[in-house]
Amino acid sequence: MSAFGRPAAEPYEVFAVKYAHHERNASANFLGGDPHDGPMPLDFYVWLVRGNGRLVVVDLGFNAATAKARQRELIRNPVDGLRLLEVDAATVPDVVLTHLHYDHVGNCELFPKANFHLQDKEMAYATGRHMAQACFGQAYGVEDVVGLVRAAYKGRVAFHDGDEEIGPGLSLHHIGGHTMGLQAVRVWTKRGWVVLASDAAHLYANMEEQRPFPIVYHVGEMIEGWRRLQQLADSPRHIIPGHDPLVLRRYPPPAPQLEGIAARLDVEPRE
Ligand SMILES: [Zn+2]
């Protein structure tokens, strides 16, 4: 049991849904490269939190046009992946955006009823001075960001500053590092506190070997962020990285036909 104890909430179900894939070498995944540099692909996920009368989608992936433009392999639109878990995007009330990079915030228009939960610092970063530098701006899609600005003017962005509970046993935590306003999601489950790290840790290896991912706003914050994730989660096995293909190997599918597509994260890993 973590220092935060047990909340007055029923355990949530938590799912990862894979929607895309990118073949690459390890050197692309670590600041300073990798001396062996073998294949080390990334998978792309959206996540679903369900329970206590709540339905929360975490991140929205990208669409076919973005996949083509950025040469990523789109396997299914995230909306179609969520439908396999009986989620209708058109009615989802809450979407947490861990940050506004292109692979986390496409498809907003497919969630017409949603409020988008975002850190103040992420909106400031994505609309501010650093975007003029390719090393910070290249992972943002300007139309995605403008879409969020429009949503803010319509009152559809719920801004958060730091750590905030958005439901019983469900909270957002500013981490920073990868981007200025990156946030992680902490969820109460039947195996304890699970933390959806998103890109606070792209891969288990970034965190376990203390080797930062090369797209980074602040290296010190990123490294401090791994410690914060460990404080928030009941164990390192309760931290879910944002892009690691091992997630679908380690966690069982919600139904046999969803093997390789989706995983249950609120149950113990199978390996
Ligand atoms: Zn990402």
Measure 224 CA to ligand 1 centroid, in angstroms.
19
Instruction: Write down the pLDDT at residue 118.
Output: 98
pLDDT (tens, 9 = 90+) of the chain, 271 residues, equals 444 677 888 999 999 999 999 999 999 999 999 998 999 999 999 999 999 999 999 999 999 999 999 999 999 999 999 999 999 999 999 999 999 999 999 999 999 999 999 999 999 999 999 999 999 999 999 999 999 999 999 999 999 999 999 999 999 999 999 999 999 999 999 999 999 999 999 999 999 999 999 999 999 999 999 999 999 999 999 999 999 999 999 999 999 999 999 999 999 999 8
Measure 196 CA to ligand 1 centroid, in angstroms.
12
Which pairing describes strands 42-51 and 54-58: parallel, antiparallel, or unpaired? antiparallel
Sign of the dihedral through C-alpha 219, 61, 248, 35: negative
Measure 118 CA to ligand 1 centroid, in angstroms.
15
Measure 5 CA to ligand 1 centroid, in angstroms.
30
| Dihedral in degrees, nearest 10, Cα atoms 233, 235, 241, 247 | -130
The residues that bridge with 195 in the sheet, in sequence order, are 186, 239
Parse the chain into domains and list their residue ranges.
13-264
Name which of 203, 105, 108 is nearest 151 in CA terms. 108
Instruction: Write down the pLDDT at residue 36.
Output: 87
Measure 115 CA to ligand 1 centroid, in angstroms.
21
CB contact at 8 A, 131 and 100: no
pTM of the model: 0.96
Measure 198 CA to ligand 1 centroid, in angstroms.
7
Instruction: Write down the pLDDT at residue 4.
Output: 61
Measure 216 CA to ligand 1 centroid, in angstroms.
11
Distance, CA of 103 to CA of 124 (rounded, Å): 19
- Cα dist. 55→95, 103, 235, 243, 261 in Å? 9, 21, 25, 22, 20
Measure 59 CA to ligand 1 centroid, in angstroms.
9
Distance, CA of 203 to CA of 208 (rounded, Å): 9
Phi-psi region of 198 (alpha: psi -120 to 50; beta: other; left: phi over 0): left
Measure 101 CA to ligand 1 centroid, in angstroms.
7
Q: Residue 253 has what DSSP assignment?
A: -
Distance, CA of 143 to CA of 239 (rounded, Å): 31
Which class for 3: exposed (0-12), middle (13-18), buried (19 or more C-beta within 10 A)? Answer: exposed
SS (H, E, C) 159-175: EECCEEEEECCEEEEEC
Distance, CA of 215 to CA of 45 (rounded, Å): 18
Measure 36 CA to ligand 1 centroid, in angstroms.
23
Distance, CA of 105 to CA of 150 (rounded, Å): 14
Superfamily of domain 13-264: Ribonuclease Z/Hydroxyacylglutathione hydrolase-like (3.60.15.10)
Which class for 34: exposed (0-12), middle (13-18), buried (19 or more C-beta within 10 A)? Answer: middle
Distance, CA of 10 to CA of 84 (rounded, Å): 24
Query: Which of helix, strand or coil describes residue 32?
Result: coil
Distance, CA of 186 to CA of 10 (rounded, Å): 14
Which pairing describes strands 170-174 and 183-189: parallel, antiparallel, or unpaired? antiparallel
Distance, CA of 232 to CA of 204 (rounded, Å): 16
